Structure 1
Amino acid sequence: MSQNKKVVVWSKVGCSYCEQVKSYLSENNFEYSTIDVTENDSLRDVLEVKYGIRYVPVVEIGDGVSPEYKAVFKVDLEALKEALV
């Protein structure tokens, strides 16, 4: 897996799936930043505009070169693993 990817995790406090995603990334040495949507509906509005959803986790993955990111919405570590390859 390429560790030079830019990864952003949209999450909220108390979300067990969000914690699973962050644990997986940490265990596999992926650096990531977090956007916490807890008590911040304006950030959920951003998700709705970008992806048509208001739920988390959402993981955005960039290649570190292009300004474009692809997003993983599935609450499925296998989908995340595939996207990180």
Structure 2
Amino acid sequence: MSDVVNIVVWSKKGCSYCGEVKNYLNEKGLSFQNIDVSEKEELRDILQAKYGIRHVPVVEIGNGNHYQGVTEIGIEHLELALANYAQIKEARR
């Protein structure tokens, strides 16, 4: 398993929660890809298909074909998902 964690942030312009997520990741030195869903209903359709929601932020954490989606609002949910990912990665070594 690769040591690289991929983080994808689904966000939109003017979303304060989205800004909090991106600031948190930047403060932790974690790089991420941002997908801006502003005025792009087809991207919200993808969120609907994957997670049954259309709201942002959604943070996907993973590697290869294994990703976990964080759909709950609040940095504590993101922190927990990152910690869980690190534990799983370590257990697979």
**Taking structure 1 as the reference length, what is the TM-score of the superposition?**
0.90
Runs of 4+ in 1 over 2 A off after TM superposition: none
Query: What is aligned with 1:51?
Result: 51
Q: Distance in 2 between the 1:67 and 1:9 partners?
A: 17
CA distance in 2, matches of 1:79, 1:52: 18
1:14 and 2:5 matched: no
> Who is 1:80 aligned against?
78
- CA–CA distance in structure 2, aligned partners of residues 78 and 54 of structure 1: 21
How many aligned positions are there? 81
Superposed CA RMSD in Å reads: 1.2
Structure 2: gaps spanning 5 or more residues: 84-93
Q: In 2, distance between residues paired with 1:38 and 1:80?
A: 22
Measured in 2, the distance between the counterparts of 1:77 and 1:5 equals 18
Structure 1: gaps (5+ residues): none
What does residue range 33-72 of structure 1 map to in structure 2 within 5 Å?
33-62=33-62, 64=63, 66-72=64-70
What do the CA deviations read for 1:21-67 (whole angstroms, capped 9, x no partner)? 000000001110000000100000000011100000000000x3x41
Give the letter aligned to residue 12 of structure 1.
K
Cross-structure match for 2:30: 30
